[in-house]
């Protein structure tokens, strides 16, 4: 019996090569929100801004360096790159306060050629500085910083006085010129504190009243000087 011929088996085409298994993407873990001190290009200014905010809220001695660090979003160790302690940070801010006073008072005494009016404008500028830069005002005059430890701070304070002396010397001689500046500044300082305590009328009028009284007091002090 003849065996029927066996038909050749059909060639089965090989399946397309399987795609390589996709490697699961590694999802990065969320960055820690813990301050590292690396996010500020200007760490010094960031710390000073934070400290000013804390002083405005709590007073010149109402915060620690660690709190200033947290407010600035940096590590607790970061401030020590610039400031040895809290007093050094306050001294830096007080120096900034003196520079701001120098700028404002120098501009004020240029407004009039009359030395009496120059003193009056200085007194008004003093009050406005105290109101508009309350934290700097408090640090400069209430922080109790030992200027002998910070020569730059002492120098900045001296420059404020130096800017006012030419005006005072047109009205008084020698040490009397310095006394005149101190008398005018003292009167303006007191009015600034009265403004803070709400003793000068409605808030929308208080600053104008304080400036007006500061001007009047400066004129009276200058007018009471003996003839040169």
In this predicted structure, what is the pLDDT of residue 227? 76
In this predicted structure, what is the pLDDT of residue 226? 85
Asked if 143 contacts 90 with a C-beta cutoff of 8 angstroms, the reply is: yes
Asked if 93 contacts 48 with a C-beta cutoff of 8 angstroms, the reply is: yes
Distance from the Cα of residue 161 to its chain's centroid = 22
Q: Name the residue among 46, 43, 72, 52 with its Cα closest to residue 139.
A: 52
Residues 171, 36: Cα–Cα separation, whole Å:
56
* Cβ atoms within 10 Å of 36's Cβ, excluding its own: 13
Residues 58, 37: Cα–Cα separation, whole Å:
24
Q: Name the residue among 101, 72, 88 with its Cα closest to residue 164.
A: 101
In this predicted structure, what is the pLDDT of residue 41? 60
In this predicted structure, what is the pLDDT of residue 8? 46
The pTM of the full predicted model, rounded to 2 decimals, is 0.79
Q: Name the residue among 123, 99, 94 with its Cα closest to residue 111.
A: 123
Q: Name the residue among 148, 145, 134, 135 with its Cα closest to residue 195.
A: 134
| pLDDT under 50: residue ranges of the chain | 1-20, 22-39
Q: Name the residue among 166, 193, 194, 190 with its Cα closest to residue 180.
A: 166
In this predicted structure, what is the pLDDT of residue 9? 44
Residue 193, class by beta-carbon neighbours within 10 Å (0-12 exposed, 13-18 middle, 19+ buried)? Answer: middle
């Amino acid at each position: 019996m003849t065996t029927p011929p066996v038909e050749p088996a059909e060639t089965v085409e090989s399946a397309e090569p399987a795609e390589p298994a996709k490697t699961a993407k590694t999802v990065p873990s969320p960055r820690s929100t813990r301050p590292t001190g690396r996010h500020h290009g200007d760490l010094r200014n960031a710390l000073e801004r934070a400290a000013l905010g804390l002083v405005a809220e709590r007073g010149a001695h109402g915060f620690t360096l660690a709190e200033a660090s947290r407010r600035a979003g940096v590590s607790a160790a970061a401030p020590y790159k610039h400031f040895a302690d809290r007093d050094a940070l306050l001294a830096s801010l007080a120096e900034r306060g003196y520079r701001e006073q120098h700028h404002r008072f120098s501009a004020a005494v240029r407004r009039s050629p009359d030395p009496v009016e120059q003193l009056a404008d200085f007194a008004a500028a003093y009050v406005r500085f105290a109101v508009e830069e309350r934290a700097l005002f408090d640090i400069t005059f209430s922080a109790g910083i030992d200027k002998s430890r910070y020569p730059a701070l002492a120098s900045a304070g001296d420059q404020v006085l130096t800017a006012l002396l030419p005006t005072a010397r047109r009205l008084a001689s020698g040490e009397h010129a310095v006394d005149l500046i101190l008398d005018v500044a003292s009167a303006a300082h007191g009015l600034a504190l009265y403004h803070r305590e709400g003793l000068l009328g409605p808030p929308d009028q208080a600053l104008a009243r304080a400036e007006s009284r500061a001007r009047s007091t400066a004129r009276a002090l200058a007018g009471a000087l003996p003839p040169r």
